[in-house]
Amino acid sequence: MSRDICVHTWPCSYYLELEKQWVPGKLSLTSLSLKFMTDKTREILVNFPLSSIIEIKKEASYFIFSSITILEKDHNKHWFSSLQPSRNVVFSIIEHFWREMLLSQSGAAVEESSSPMTKGKELTGLMACTQKRLEDTARVLHHQGEQLDSISRGLDKMESDLDVADRLLTELESPSWWPFSFKLWKMPSETKPKWDASMASSKALGKEGIVIKIPAVISQKTESHVKPGRLTVFVSGLEIHNSDSLLMHRFEREEVDDIKVHTPYEISIRQRFIGKPDIAYRLISAKMPEVIPILEVQFSKKIEFLEDALMLRSTRTSPLAEKGYSVWHAASGLSDRAMHCEASSGNQEGRPLQLQMSEPLISEGDSQELRQILRKLKDLALDAESELERQDEALDGITAAVDRTTLTIDKHNRRVKKLT
């Protein structure tokens, strides 16, 4: 599947230098290029990659009309005006994708120019992607375990409070002439500090559990006002910051009502309220495809893929699957050819010489890198397995504690009703 996916389309006008006139049409931004298509003839007048852009500026044509100018490497200058919903919106989004493309492709260009892509490098890339996904999953799993520990501490605090309530109820139920009743009113002085410490630790854990952080173009309420910023995904929620790193809004995990995926590069987050306006943000980012799988795990029941993103979701893993199939198919074919050559080595003496002269499918450096990645994957899988076993035990303990607490509360409620 091609990476050249349409990100956004805006109505605008393009200036034809030869004919000295403005032509209405639509400007389309994809993940790799920018193109303009006329409304009447549906002809593509401009189509150039983002990597060929040297400069993007805000200018005014004839000192009146606000425009965006884009300068290419061959010094071709393109003028776009009458941009909707506004010039600032279009400029911010195009500039964001242009800068992120330059940052992401600078390292990739060096790597591609240094050595050609081989089957070993393809397999190494697949394994590295798998390792990254497993590391993200392990990080989320680890912070999930910390949250379970915080829940266990809260249940322990509830049980200690219920013990105090039991002593108080016993005091109220005892006769007034009972000589040792005053001792039952003494409460442990360390109860409140312990609770405060546990609350502070749970808040600190939520703040420190950063899963991923990406730059984004942020809009609220209307799409005509956008600003650059940053989206940070925590285990406990989501945070949106502006370009000055000031917090615009924090969504706690339970406060998020729905997340809509419009395209692989655009999402909207909403928190509903009764009696006052909802809080909603729309975010566009070139790094959004890295965040969407994490949001699927954290908000599986609240995330919704719209029509444009739904088609891409079904084929999102197909390139990896096709690459993996081709690599393993080639590797199996190589082993079959090797076995066939070994079987026929007695009849043909020239075949081993030809096999020795042929290049190996996977180089020694790639095989060593694959071994290292496989060791890391094994360690991550073992750590995840042990953490899951520990969390299963913690869940069993939490379930038993909740049952005990529920029974104790019911018993205390009955005792209170008898006193009243």
pLDDT in tens, 362-382: 777 778 888 888 888 888 888
pLDDT at 275 over 90: no
pLDDT at 314 over 90: no
Burial track 215-253 (b if 16+ CB lie within 10 A, e otherwise):
bbbbbeeeeeebebbbbbbbbbbbbbbeeeeeeeeebee
The residue type found at 418 is K
Which among 120, 73, 18, 107 has a CA at the least distance from the CA of 371?
120
Using CA of residue 63, residue 68, residue 72, residue 78, what is the dihedral sign?
negative
pLDDT bin (cut points 50, 70, 90) of residue 208 is low
pLDDT for the residue numbered 338: 40
* Structure tokens belonging to residue 165: 């309530």
Specify the CATH architecture of the domain 210-305.
Roll (2.30)
Over pLDDT 70: what percentage of the chain? Answer: 74
Which among 200, 140, 220, 198 has a CA at the least distance from the CA of 391?
140
pLDDT for the residue numbered 391: 87
Per the model's pLDDT, the better-predicted residue between 289 and 350 turns out to be 289
CA distance linking residue 72 with residue 13, whole number of Å: 19
Is there a contact between 283 and 23 (Cβ–Cβ < 8 Å)?
Answer: no
- CATH topology for 6-106 is PH-domain like (2.30.29)
> Which residues share a beta bridge with 232?
213, 239
What average pLDDT does the structure give for the chain? 77
Contacting residues for 27 by C-beta, under 8 A, at least 6 apart: 9, 10, 11, 12, 14, 34, 35, 36, 80, 83, 90
pTM: 0.56
pLDDT for the residue numbered 103: 78
pLDDT for the residue numbered 315: 52
Over residues 234-243, mean pLDDT? 90
pLDDT at 194 over 60: no
* Structure tokens belonging to residue 348: 């043909």
pLDDT for the residue numbered 344: 46
